[in-house]
Chains A and B, each alone.
Chain A
Amino acid sequence: MILVRIPQKNKEIEVPGPRMVADILAAAGVRPTTVIVTQGKRLLTRDQRVEDGETIDILSVVSGG
């Protein structure tokens, strides 16, 4: 499984791997233009493949006020 962390929502989900980032975002119900996806110190684009057993973070970029 791929561990997907969404720290701003205190949420973690698991999706079966391997999967493309775009598919993971869709599974997490997240709009791609509103987030960046990171893995350690790397930024991932939507076409990159995440392997089973790996962890990624989804960070919202939207600020209000």
Chain B
Amino acid sequence: MKCKRCRKTEAAVELPSHNSAFCPDCFFLFFRRQVTEGIRKLSLLSPDDRVLVCVSGGKDSLVLWDILMELGYRTEGLHIDLGIDGYSSRSLEKVTAYAAARGKVPIVVDLHAEGIPIPEAAKRTHKEECSVCGTVKRYFFNRVAARSGFTVVATGHNLDDEAARLLGNLLHWDRDRLSRQSPLLPEGPKGLVRKIKPLWRVSEMETASYGFLKGIEYVTEECPLSLDATSLVYKEALSLIEEEMPGTRRRFYQGFLQQNLGVPAGTGAADVTDGKTPGNCIACGAPAYTETCGYCRLKERVTKARGR
């Protein structure tokens, strides 16, 4: 199969959802255009932004950092060491090596040092690992950004992630989550930093292909704590549909955004405050809708359980 753009070179990436196939050079152009369009359509970034890119060591976040640097944005990488035996050290190695090759040093938050490694926190509080991980990561993303003068936090969520999340939210008719599902969560009061998902138009297969062709070394193993994640079930269901009807996943998610089903009309941005005004956590000062923020409550439960 020849590249459908240049019609000269053998295709390396086949994209049935776009009825297309590209050689490596043309695929880079395609990918770059998708990300640029994703940023432009929702005004995710401006050239003045200081971007904190959250890098796990997986393909999506490293590809995100790579393309944002290539597009000329001012970026730094933030890695959260989750404290998962083996997996976390291998992830940190990938992030450090990637950054070093580009003259960067990532900011690292070590959850062991913070006293809240994910496996222990989940066990002691009897909560699901992914739920605990989400609370802790969101907290540190915002804290590091706010304290270090970043104007925006960027994560590597892609089209498959967002479509799976949308399916889950719809199946549960979770209006609250649907109203906040957007690639753009604007800056809020009390130190809430803007959050963006610049890869919202590209699929997992596309980010993996981009990473591979660019020679980006990423962690290929799955997080051992997320093997039973419900998001994987939704992804599997959408993959089945996608194979029979290519492009459905893209139309599903982009249709949701275009029709402003989850966001205030015309803005493309979700209302992160949900109409409420946050205060500041009395323990740590982070933006919070309750007296104490979710992270501090979680940490207190872990500390108490440890003392028993």
Which A positions have Cβ atoms within 8 angstroms of B? 7-8, 31-36, 38, 41-48, 59-65
* A8 surroundings in chain B (CB, below 8 A): 220-222
Cα–Cα, bound, A42→B215 (Å):
11
Nearest B-chain residue to A7, judged by Cβ:
B220
Cα–Cα, bound, A38→B213 (Å):
10
* B12 surroundings in chain A (CB, below 8 A): 42-45
* A65 surroundings in chain B (CB, below 8 A): 130, 133, 223, 225-226, 229, 231
* Closest Cβ–Cβ distance, residue B156 to chain A (whole Å): 9
Q: Evaluate contact between B58 and A63: CB separation under 8 angstroms.
A: yes
* B229 surroundings in chain A (CB, below 8 A): 64-65
- With A31-B239, A46-B14 given, is the CB distance from A62 to B232 under 8 Å? yes
Please tell me which one of the listed residues A7, A31, A34, A43 contacts residue B13 in the complex, with CB atoms under 8 A apart. A43
Q: Evaluate contact between B209 and A62: CB separation under 8 angstroms.
A: no
B31-61 residues at the A interface, CB under 8 angstroms: 58-60
Q: Evaluate contact between A43 and B213: CB separation under 8 angstroms.
A: yes
Q: Which of B13, B60, B212 has the most CB of A within 10 A?
A: B212
* Closest Cβ–Cβ distance, residue B226 to chain A (whole Å): 4
Cα–Cα, bound, A59→B133 (Å):
25
Q: Evaluate contact between B1 and A47: CB separation under 8 angstroms.
A: yes
Q: How large is the interface on B (under 10, 10 to 19, 20 to 34, 35 or more residues)?
A: 35 or more
Which B positions have Cβ atoms within 8 angstroms of A? 1, 11-14, 16, 21, 24, 58-60, 130, 133, 160-161, 204-205, 207-209, 212-213, 215, 220-223, 225-227, 229, 231-232, 235, 239-240, 242-243
Q: Evaluate contact between B231 and A36: CB separation under 8 angstroms.
A: no
Q: Evaluate contact between B11 and A45: CB separation under 8 angstroms.
A: yes
Cα–Cα, bound, A48→B213 (Å):
17
* B160 surroundings in chain A (CB, below 8 A): 62
Q: Evaluate contact between B133 and A61: CB separation under 8 angstroms.
A: no
* A59 surroundings in chain B (CB, below 8 A): 208, 212, 220
Cα–Cα, bound, A34→B203 (Å):
10
* Closest Cβ–Cβ distance, residue B76 to chain A (whole Å): 23
* Closest Cβ–Cβ distance, residue B284 to chain A (whole Å): 25
Cα–Cα, bound, A43→B14 (Å):
10
**A45-B1, A64-B235 given; 14 more Cβ-contact pairs under 8 Å:** A7-B220, A33-B205, A42-B12, A43-B12, A45-B11, A48-B1, A59-B212, A62-B204, A62-B232, A63-B60, A64-B130, A64-B223, A64-B231, A65-B231
* A7 surroundings in chain B (CB, below 8 A): 220
